[in-house]
Amino acid sequence: MKADAPTILFVVTEDWFFASHFLPLAREAVRMGLRAVVATRVRGHRAMIEATGASVVPLDIARSRNSATALGREVRSLARILRDHRPTIVHCIALRAIAIGGIACRLTGIGRPVHALTGTGFLGTRTDPAGRAIRAGVTLALRAGLVSRRTRLLLENTADARFFGLAPDDPRILVVGGAGVDPQAFPVAPLPPSPPLKLALVARMIWSKGVDTAVEAVAIARARGVDVELSLFGPVDADNPRAVSSQTLAAWNGRNGVSWHGATREVASVYAAHHAAILPSRGGEGLPRTLLEAGASGRAILTTDVPGCRDLVRDGVDGFVVPPDDPERLADAIQRLAADPSRLAAMGDAVRERIESGFTEARVAADVGALWRSML
């Protein structure tokens, strides 16, 4: 890398989130000859990030702090990093990083921002007055950012642009296939013997993922005589106010065919051991990586009619798409899958082909890299 190479600064709240979703972007930046720096809360994933050739700078930022004082402190911390590293591009990932990154760039006059929205988060599921007020503030911030010719907006589905009152075809907006997935890391394994029909829900254990809906739907299906089991794989997200408590998970574990296994890094092995993926999200998604991984594994997907999920899964082709918060309809879909193993296999084949056609890490990295080049 040249000593005078342009710098790209990634801003993200958690190092684990960058390590699980965005390492291909760091590799693409290094491949392009950029000096890549990741500003994040450092926990246990520094080495994984640095293995891409990027460097890591600690940033005291937390999703659980929502006061103006905390936000101001984070903006000042990021502003110091901007002055130290003088990045050409500031790639802010998810809502909180977008908020502090946009303000810090304006205050310092340093960096051309890329606001990478990974979903609407809690704003996509809240309809109370406070939620509407926060949504209005975020909308104003995003629109203000797009007033500048220096700013670009990166989305994972077109509905998120409309959610904030933006035009999806705005030339400053790029829609990509989520974080993408490497199909070679998720080889298609033969379906396990059945019955029972084995479903895997791989996600953080938070209410917005519809974990409770999946548990209830499986109980309904079993009451109808369907031989089905549900495995939950994911951590309790202590920093998320919508986390499902460990007590609730313990109460579900071992009942009505449900088992909770905690966090896992062996996602490919999980899907190899199950017939289908299930994610009855309540919304707020960008394009869930867990569905990309399930699709790459050649597994049919049961999900809900919310942005991101419906952008990947074609109802009746790659799996079934049902209304959110409707365990009866989800139980119907489970029953249909259990009754037709040949259709289950055909859906898995279809979604694997769909992943390979446009939702790979290589495709996403190439699209984002082209965006960066246009800004340099």
pLDDT digits 0-9 by tens, 173-223? 999 999 999 999 999 999 999 999 999 999 999 999 999 999 999 999 999
Q: Which CATH architecture has domain 7-180+360-375?
A: 3-Layer(aba) Sandwich (3.40)
Mean pLDDT over the full length of the chain: 91
Q: How many residues does the chain have?
A: 376
CA–CA distances in Å: residue 271 to residues 117, 206, 254, 342: 27, 20, 20, 18
Q: DSSP character for 299?
A: -
Residue whose C-alpha is closest to residue 374's, from 176, 173, 177: 173
For residues 151 and 111, the answer to whether their CB atoms sit within 8 Å is no
Say what the pLDDT of residue 321 is: 98
pLDDT value of position 178: 93
Helix then strand then coil, in percent of the chain rounded to 5, is 45, 20, 35
- Token readout for 23 is 């390492």
Specify the DSSP class assigned to residue 173: E
Q: What pLDDT score does 139 carry?
A: 60
Q: How confident is the model at residue 110 (pLDDT cuts 50, 70, 90)?
A: very high
Q: Domain residues of the chain, as ranges?
A: 7-180+360-375, 183-358
Residues paired with 321 in a beta bridge: 303
Query: If you classify domain 183-358 with CATH, what class do you get?
Result: alpha beta
Above 80 in pLDDT, residue 129? no
Residue 99 confidence (pLDDT): 84
Is the pLDDT at 122 greater than 60? The verdict is: no
Q: How confident is the model at residue 123 (pLDDT cuts 50, 70, 90)?
A: low
Phi, psi of 159 (to 5 degrees): -60, -30
Q: Is 265 exposed, middle or buried (0-12, 13-18, 19+ CB in 10 A)?
A: exposed
Distances (CA, A) of 135 to 63, 146, 166: 16, 17, 13
| 43-88 residue pLDDT tens | 999 999 999 999 999 998 865 556 677 778 899 999 999 999 999 9
Cα–Cα distance between 295 and 281 in angstroms, integer? 16
What's the burial of 266, exposed, middle or buried (CB within 10 Å: 0-12/13-18/19+)? Answer: exposed
In sequence order, what DSSP letters do the residues of 46-83 get, joined into one string?
A: HHHHHTTT-EEEE----TT--SHHHHHHHHHHHHHHHH
Please tell me the predicted confidence (pLDDT) of residue 45.
95
Distance CA 90, CA 98 (A): 10
Q: What is the DSSP letter of 190?
A: P
pLDDT of residue 309: 97
Between strands 258-260 and 319-322, the pairing is: unpaired
pLDDT at 67: 67
- 7-180+360-375 shares its CATH topology with 183-358: yes
H/E stretch holding 41 = strand 35-41
